[in-house]
A and B are shown apart, each in its own frame.
Chain A
Amino acid sequence: MTEPLVRVEGLTVAYRGVRVVDDVSFTIEPGGSYGLVGESGSGKSTVAGTLTASLDPDATVSATTITVDGSDVVALRREALRRFRRDVVAVVHQEPGLALNPTMTVGRQVAEVLRARGSGRADAEAATVQAFTRVGLPTPETVGVRYPHELSGGQQQRVAIAMALVARPRLLVLDEPTTGLDSTVEAGIMALIDELRTELGFATLLISHNLPLVAAHCDRVGVLRRGVLVEEGSATRVLLAPSDPYTVQLVEALPDITAGKPAGRPAADESAADEPAAQRAPDVLVTVRGLRKEYEGQAALDGVDLDLHRGEVLGVVGESGSGKTTFGRALAGLVGYDGTIAVAGGGGHGVGRDPRRTPPVQVVFQNADASLNPRRTVRQVLGRAIRLLHGAGSAEELAARVGLAADVLDRRPAQLSGGQKQRVAIARAFAGPVPLVVCDEPTSALDVSVQARILDLVLDLQRTTGTTCVFISHDLAVVRRVADRIAVFEAGRIVDLAPAERVFDDGTHPRTRALVEAAFDLRRRAGLTGRVATA
């Protein structure tokens, strides 16, 4: 193969004079796999948009060369553009739930692609079933009559992939295809894409903020930062011997599966912080007995018993649907439940308790965007939190404690970065002497480099205040960094509960081992564990 499938040279894209992609060059061989890594706003989706000729009309694109399968993408108009989109490229988007038409059965949606290419009805239906079989959907003959909302996230993404592939594209663009999916589902989807690529011979462009994922599934990797390609090369080279300082930072910021909770940083409450919680005489803060919760006949929590010790960080892991989020919401009193949750000191918990007492539970929600009122400034949010939680000090001091600059105080959430928003949400939860803080996936919506520092912040606040913390996450590496004990949830029950180190070294339950394996597998394929072990 002498001629690359995709050739991009000197690509520059600007919106109203602001350059979002700046002089980017790379090539993708036919059948090759290329990964673009970058944080949100780095311009990676804009590059993908250029290659699929689907940018906003007000973007100005200039490039020395930008060809896909021999055609100049920028020059394509009307009929040629239609043919290009139909025959050459296909895209799998980030949110399969949004990419699929909710009012159409998935079978019809896939068949529609084939019909647009001129197949007859019967042929299209047969090919659809074939495609569903190929992407590993259960009961491919009958799944076609279902609507997208009747499928799980992983199944929806499989439908989207089937839809992209029935057109037999030369180039498949994957825009964050597994963000929002569980780690085992993610592994399945990525394995499927790898397999189909070898089988059908298309090239892939994988766009993601997840460096290990990209490194594990691509031959070549490009690292984008603010529109500039700062590093480019083979996947192993970029990961193991990064030359650009930014790439070095990215690699180092990855939550490392082999690293436990950093111990022994000076803390205010020394007696409590320096020894693992399990070794102290257990001073129980919350007692959970026979906790049950049903949603429309389906048990989300199915008999959970647990003692939460004062001052400990309990990591809660499990796949989505395992009940871990419901458990956190029940602890906070945000959902009704059967069974008992007793907080030491009484006074009830959740909403509707005695307003004169400090609320016993605070929550840091997953999506800081939604958990901050868009109409209120940071100062208003923090000031109100200090008053309601009976905290001491001013909003300025609280902001400084969570590493927010003073000039952020008078901004509204829309004017903050994702990391800053989550800092505000964390500051709000730790504004007063609250005994228990539930963190529900607080970093899963953030970029990797920000994630690490938000975790440090939570740990730091937890140590200095001696607050008990329940940390919910689907990412074992994240939980291992923060937790003293880890509870593994499956189907609404705790199947494993042990000190963090023991879960990793000799987790006994098969579910625990599967989770640990999935986490290790990805990093092993990316060559990460080896590097860290020797570093």
Chain B
Amino acid sequence: MTAVVPGALDTDTRPAPDAVGARTVRAARRGRRALLRRPTFLVSVAILLGWVALAVGWHAFGLQPFAKTGGLLQPPSGAHWFGTDSLGRDVFARVAAGARPALLIGPFGAALATVLGGTLGLLAGYHRGWVDTALMRFFDVLLALPSLIFLVVLVGAFGVSTPALILIVGVLFAPGIARIVRATVLVEMGKSYVQAARLQGESAFRAMLTELLPNVVGVFVIQAVLSLGAAIFITASLSFLGLGSQPPAADWGLDINANRAYLQAAWWTVVFPGVAVASIVVSANLIADNLKEVTG
């Protein structure tokens, strides 16, 4: 007989010291607070929210992006903060109004890409085998195509309507997201909790939804924000190429193209829309970076 008396060594039946529990809760809260203490995160969120506000309510500010409100190609002044373009329209009003098309296709396209890519990545990582192989080889093909040229072809085929552009952006960005989600899922599948759930008779659908998804949702959020920046950039590129909004619509890519000729004489007509695109793309990336660092 061994000399073991059940319960004699009372180190583990006793609940874990409260310090342990409190520590994890505190760590989570500290993560959130740390996010709010990061200047790059706060500034980026403020910039994004500012653009959203302009996209939704630029009418309310009495801006007139389409009317001739001053002289031609006037440099920035008190009356026209960003100067005027070759038709005498206020560049500030046009940049503000241009937030609307940029924030229409980009976010919806990114959301579609995240849902589509995330689902396919989850399926591929969960089932592995031929499902995984088939999906991943197909994505490899999509990713091998130069995205802008591929996009131009698709736009040529399906037209430049907003729903078509959202769909195209969504399909274009989905493979990259699917790959990253799949990789994360594979790491989680290496842990035995999903197997344990399946052994208990949990259906594949429930195992994916209730066991896996909560553990990979952080990756979803980060990828969504990252693809938001990329989607806005690519839609601006499309309208620059004349494959998006048409004149006289206020659109950053369109304006940059229209005013290219005046770059030397009237830099403000090109620089301000360009800065607008850059500010959104950089903000989205910084937000994603901060999320990544905090969630670790």
Where the two chains meet, the residues of A that have a C-beta atom closer than 8 Å to any C-beta of B are 18, 39, 249, 252-253, 255-256, 259, 262, 332-334, 350-351, 353, 355, 358-359, 361-363, 365, 367, 369-375, 384-385, 388-389, 403-405, 407-408, 411-412, 414-420, 423, 425, 428, 447, 449-450, 452-453, 456, 481, 535
Q: Are B11 and A449 in contact (CB under 8 A)?
A: yes
Residues of A within 8 A of B128 (CB): none
**In the bound complex, what is the Cα–Cα distance between A252 and B259 (angstroms)?**
85
**In the bound complex, what is the Cα–Cα distance between A411 and B20 (angstroms)?**
11
Residues of A within 8 A of B7 (CB): 403, 453
Q: How many residue pairs between the two chains, A and B, have CB atoms under 8 Å in the bound complex?
A: 126
Q: B residues 1-58 with Cβ under 8 Å of A?
A: 1-4, 6-9, 11-16, 19-21, 24
Contact of B20 among A252, A415, A453 (CB under 8 A): A415
**In the bound complex, what is the Cα–Cα distance between A428 and B24 (angstroms)?**
24
Q: Are A252 and B200 in contact (CB under 8 A)?
A: no
Q: Mind listing 22 A-B residue pairs with CB under 8 Å?
A: A253-B4, A259-B2, A334-B199, A350-B199, A351-B199, A363-B199, A365-B192, A365-B195, A373-B193, A373-B211, A403-B7, A407-B15, A411-B21, A415-B20, A417-B11, A417-B12, A418-B12, A428-B196, A428-B200, A447-B11, A450-B9, A456-B4
Residues of B within 8 A of A39 (CB): 11
Contact A259:B1 (CB < 8 A) given known A405-B15, A408-B15:
yes
Query: Whose C-beta in chain A lies nearest to the C-beta of B200?
Result: A388
Cβ of B260 < 8 Å from any Cβ of A?
Answer: no
Q: 9 closest A-B pairs (Cβ-Cβ)?
A: A419-B12, A370-B191, A449-B9, A371-B192, A415-B21, A375-B214, A252-B3, A365-B192, A388-B200
Mask: chain B, 187-216; 1 = CB below 8 Å from A; 0 = not: 000111101111111110000000100110
Residues of A within 8 A of B196 (CB): 363, 365, 371-372, 425, 428
Contact of A450 among B1, B11, B24 (CB under 8 A): B11
Query: Whose C-beta in chain A lies nearest to the C-beta of B28?
Result: A414
Residues of A within 8 A of B203 (CB): 355
Contact A362:B200 (CB < 8 A) given known A371-B191, A373-B215, A411-B21:
yes
Where the two chains meet, the residues of B that have a C-beta atom closer than 8 Å to any C-beta of A are 1-4, 6-9, 11-16, 19-21, 24, 190-193, 195-203, 211, 214-215
Query: Whose C-beta in chain A lies nearest to the C-beta of B16?
Result: A417
Contact A252:B15 (CB < 8 A) given known A362-B200, A389-B201:
no
Q: Closest Cβ of chain B: how far from A135's Cβ, in Å? A: 31
Q: Closest Cβ of chain B: how far from A157's Cβ, in Å? A: 23
**In the bound complex, what is the Cα–Cα distance between A361 and B201 (angstroms)?**
10
Contact of A334 among B21, B195, B202, B215 (CB under 8 A): B195
Contact of B200 among A365, A369, A385, A411 (CB under 8 A): A385
Q: Closest Cβ of chain A: how far from B132's Cβ, in Å? A: 16
Residues of A within 8 A of B12 (CB): 417-420, 423, 449-450, 453
**In the bound complex, what is the Cα–Cα distance between A420 and B17 (angstroms)?**
12
Q: Closest Cβ of chain B: how far from A244's Cβ, in Å? A: 13
Residues of A within 8 A of B199 (CB): 332-334, 350-351, 359, 361-363
Residues of B within 8 A of A404 (CB): 13
Q: Closest Cβ of chain B: how far from A423's Cβ, in Å? A: 8
Contact of A262 among B1, B16, B20, B192 (CB under 8 A): B1
Residues of B within 8 A of A255 (CB): 2
**In the bound complex, what is the Cα–Cα distance between A210 and B20 (angstroms)?**
25
Residues of A within 8 A of B211 (CB): 373
Query: Whose C-beta in chain B lies nearest to the C-beta of A368?
Result: B192
Q: Are B6 and A456 in contact (CB under 8 A)?
A: yes
Q: Which of B13, B193, B200 has the most CB of A within 10 A?
A: B200
**In the bound complex, what is the Cα–Cα distance between A369 and B190 (angstroms)?**
12
Q: Closest Cβ of chain B: how far from A246's Cβ, in Å? A: 9
Contact of B9 among A253, A367, A374 (CB under 8 A): A253
**In the bound complex, what is the Cα–Cα distance between A388 and B195 (angstroms)?**
14
**In the bound complex, what is the Cα–Cα distance between A359 and B198 (angstroms)?**
10
**In the bound complex, what is the Cα–Cα distance between A332 and B199 (angstroms)?**
8
Residues of B within 8 A of A367 (CB): 191-192
Residues of A within 8 A of B19 (CB): 18
Residues of B within 8 A of A256 (CB): 2-3
Q: Which of B1, B19, B191, B199 has the most CB of A within 10 A?
A: B199
Residues of B within 8 A of A418 (CB): 12
Residues of B within 8 A of A362 (CB): 199-200
**In the bound complex, what is the Cα–Cα distance between A403 and B203 (angstroms)?**
30
Contact of A355 among B24, B195, B201 (CB under 8 A): B201
**In the bound complex, what is the Cα–Cα distance between A115 and B13 (angstroms)?**
51
Query: Whose C-beta in chain B lies nearest to the C-beta of A454?
Result: B12
Residues of B within 8 A of A249 (CB): 8-9
**In the bound complex, what is the Cα–Cα distance between A405 and B14 (angstroms)?**
7
Query: Whose C-beta in chain B lies nearest to the C-beta of A356?
Result: B201
**In the bound complex, what is the Cα–Cα distance between A365 and B200 (angstroms)?**
13
Q: Are A373 and B197 in contact (CB under 8 A)?
A: yes
Residues of B within 8 A of A332 (CB): 199
Known: A255-B2, A371-B196, A449-B12. 4 other contacts (CB 8 A): A375-B215, A414-B24, A420-B12, A453-B6
**In the bound complex, what is the Cα–Cα distance between A513 and B196 (angstroms)?**
35
Query: Whose C-beta in chain A lies nearest to the C-beta of B195?
Result: A334
**In the bound complex, what is the Cα–Cα distance between A43 and B203 (angstroms)?**
44
Query: Whose C-beta in chain B lies nearest to the C-beta of A350?
Result: B199
Q: Closest Cβ of chain A: how far from B206's Cβ, in Å? A: 10
Residues of A within 8 A of B11 (CB): 39, 417, 419, 447, 449-450
Residues of A within 8 A of B21 (CB): 411, 415
Q: Which of A262, A332, A453 has the most CB of B within 10 A?
A: A453
**In the bound complex, what is the Cα–Cα distance between A353 and B195 (angstroms)?**
14
Residues of A within 8 A of B6 (CB): 453, 456
**In the bound complex, what is the Cα–Cα distance between A412 and B25 (angstroms)?**
10
Residues of A within 8 A of B4 (CB): 252-253, 452-453, 456
Query: Whose C-beta in chain A lies nearest to the C-beta of B194?
Result: A373
Q: Are B1 and A371 in contact (CB under 8 A)?
A: no
Residues of A within 8 A of B15 (CB): 405, 407-408, 420
Q: Are A359 and B193 in contact (CB under 8 A)?
A: no
Q: Are A384 and B200 in contact (CB under 8 A)?
A: yes
**In the bound complex, what is the Cα–Cα distance between A401 and B199 (angstroms)?**
22
Q: Closest Cβ of chain A: how far from B29's Cβ, in Å? A: 14
Query: Whose C-beta in chain B lies nearest to the C-beta of A374?
Result: B215
Query: Whose C-beta in chain B lies nearest to the C-beta of A477?
Result: B2
Q: Closest Cβ of chain B: how far from A55's Cβ, in Å? A: 20
Q: Closest Cβ of chain B: how far from A383's Cβ, in Å? A: 12
Residues of A within 8 A of B24 (CB): 412, 414-415
Query: Whose C-beta in chain A lies nearest to the C-beta of B25?
Result: A415
**In the bound complex, what is the Cα–Cα distance between A393 and B185 (angstroms)?**
34
Residues of A within 8 A of B192 (CB): 363, 365, 367, 370-371
